[in-house]
Structure 1
Amino acid sequence: MADAADSELPNAWRKCHGWDGESVKALANRVLQYEPPYGVKRARILLTGTVGSGKSSFFNGVKSVFRNRIATQAMTGASARSLTTKFRTYEIRATDGTPLKFQLCDTPGLEDGQGLEPVDFQFLLDGNVPDGFQCHPNTRITTNIPGFVKTPNISNSIHCLAFVIDAATVSVISETIKKKLVDIKDLALSKNIPCLILLTKVDKVSQIADVDLSKVYLSKALQDKVKQVADLLGLPESQVLLVKNYCKEVELDASVDVLTLTAIQRMLGCADDYFDELASQQCSDNFENVQLGLQAI
Structure 2
Amino acid sequence: MKKMKNNLENIEPLTGIGLQHYNILLLGVIGAGKSSFYNTVATVFENKVKDIAPTAEELSSVTNEVHAYDILNENGDKINIKLLDIRGYEEERGYEHELDLILDGKIADGYEFPDKSPARDDIIITNTNPTINDQVHLVCLIVDSTKFKIQSDKMVDQIDTIKKLIRRRGLPLVAVATKFDHLCPKISEDADHIYLSPKAKDETSAMSETFGIELRHIFPIVNYINDHEEITPGKNKLVIEALHSMMQITRDHLFHHRGALRDEDNSWSMRVKRLQVCRSNEHRENEIKDLCQEMSDDNTLRVLCYGPVNSGKSSFIDSIMSLLTGKIVSRATGGYSKANSNGTSKTEKFQMYQLKFKSEPGKTNTSNVFFCDMPGIQDKEGVKLEQAKLIVKGHVPNKFKIQNKSIDKDSKHFVKDAGSMCKIHCVCFLFDISNIETLTETFKETCKRFQWWLSNKDIPYVVVVTKGDQTSTAVRDNALQIYENKLIRENKDKLIEYFSFKESKIFPVRNYVHENQTLPEIDALLLDALKEIVSIGYEYLGDNSGDESVVSDSSTDDESSSDQE
Scaled to the shorter chain, the TM-score interval is 0.7 to 0.9
Q: Where does residue 99 of structure 1 map in the other structure?
A: 366
CA distance in 1, matches of 2:495, 2:465: 8
Q: Which amino acid aligns with 1:126?
A: K
Give how far 1:100 is off: 1.1
SS of aligned partner of 1:197: strand
CA distance in 1, matches of 2:369, 2:295: 9
Structure 1 gap ranges (5+): 280-289
Q: Where does residue 136 of structure 1 map in the other structure?
A: 403
Which of these residues, 77, 100, 106, is aligned with residue 337 of structure 2?
77
Give the 3 Å change call, closer, same or farther, for CA 98–105 of structure 1 in structure 2: same
Q: Where does residue 241 of structure 1 map in the other structure?
A: 507
Higher mean displacement: 162-171 or 222-231 = 222-231
Give the 3 Å change call, closer, same or farther, for CA 292–122 of structure 1 in structure 2: closer
Which of these residues, 342, 364, 377, is aligned with residue 110 of structure 1?
377
Give how far 1:183 is off: 1.3
Encode CA deviations 1:241-270: one digit per residue, 9 max, x unaligned: 111111221111111111111111111111
CA distance in 2, matches of 1:88, 1:163: 16
Give how far 1:98 is off: 2.1
Q: Where does residue 205 of structure 1 map in the other structure?
A: 471
Q: Which amino acid aligns with 2:345?
A: S
Give how far 1:191 is off: 1.1
Higher mean displacement: 65-74 or 53-62 = 65-74
Give how far 1:87 is off: 0.2
Q: Where does residue 51 of structure 1 map in the other structure?
A: 309
Structure 2 gap ranges (5+): 1-5, 15-262, 551-565
Which aligned pairs between 1:244-263 and structure 2 lie closer than 5 A? 244-263=510-529
Which of these residues, 274, 285, 306, is aligned with residue 25 of structure 1?
285
Higher mean displacement: 178-187 or 14-23 = 14-23
SS of aligned partner of 2:420: coil
Which aligned pairs between 1:30-41 and structure 2 lie closer than 5 A? 30-35=290-295, 40=299
Which of these residues, 121, 132, 142, is aligned with residue 388 of structure 2?
121
Which of these residues, 413, 423, 428, is aligned with residue 162 of structure 1?
428
Q: TM-score, normalised by structure 2?
A: 0.46
Encode CA deviations 1:136-171: one digit per residue, 9 max, x unaligned: 32x432113333211111210111000111011211
Q: Which amino acid aligns with 1:215?
A: Q
Give the 3 Å change call, closer, same or farther, for CA 46–20 of structure 1 in structure 2: same
Contact 2:434/2:491, CA 8 A, preserved across alignment: no
SS of aligned partner of 1:228: helix
CA distance in 1, matches of 2:401, 2:296: 29
Encode CA deviations 1:84-115: one digit per residue, 9 max, x unaligned: 00000001112334211211000100011111
Encode CA deviations 1:264-293: one digit per residue, 9 max, x unaligned: 1111111123124425xxxxxxxxxx5999
SS of aligned partner of 2:464: strand
Contact 1:130/1:147, CA 8 A, preserved across alignment: yes
Which aligned pairs between 1:191-202 and structure 2 lie closer than 5 A? 191-202=457-468
CA distance in 2, matches of 1:268, 1:151: 26
SS of aligned partner of 1:168: helix
Identical positions, percent? 23
CA distance in 2, matches of 1:46, 1:293: 19
The structure with higher relative contact order (CA 8 Å, sep 6+) is 1
Encode CA deviations 1:16-70: one digit per residue, 9 max, x unaligned: 2432335643442232111577x52x21100011111111111111111222211
CA distance in 1, matches of 2:310, 2:286: 31
Q: Where does residue 64 of structure 1 map in the other structure?
A: 322
Give the 3 Å change call, closer, same or farther, for CA 269–258 of structure 1 in structure 2: same
Q: Which amino acid aligns with 2:539?
A: D
Give how far 1:196 is off: 0.9
Q: Where does residue 90 of structure 1 map in the other structure?
A: 353
Higher mean displacement: 4-13 or 189-198 = 4-13
Give the 3 Å change call, closer, same or farther, for CA 204–264 of structure 1 in structure 2: same
* Stretches of 4+ aligned residues off by more than 4 angstroms: 290-294
Contact 1:167/1:202, CA 8 A, preserved across alignment: yes
Give how far 1:177 is off: 1.1
CA distance in 2, matches of 1:232, 1:217: 20
Give how far 1:220 is off: 3.4
Give the 3 Å change call, closer, same or farther, for CA 140–147 of structure 1 in structure 2: closer
Contact 1:46/1:106, CA 8 A, preserved across alignment: yes
SS of aligned partner of 1:169: helix
Give the 3 Å change call, closer, same or farther, for CA 21–168 of structure 1 in structure 2: same
Q: Where does residue 282 of structure 1 map in the other structure?
A: none
Contact 2:432/2:465, CA 8 A, preserved across alignment: yes
Q: Where does residue 274 of structure 2 map in the other structure?
A: 16
Q: Where does residue 285 of structure 1 map in the other structure?
A: none
Matched length: 279
Q: Which amino acid aligns with 2:311?
A: S
Q: CA RMSD in A?
A: 2.5
Q: TM-score, normalised by structure 1?
A: 0.85
SS of aligned partner of 1:62: helix
Give how far 1:123 is off: 0.9
Q: Which amino acid aligns with 1:239?
A: K
Q: Which amino acid aligns with 1:66?
A: L
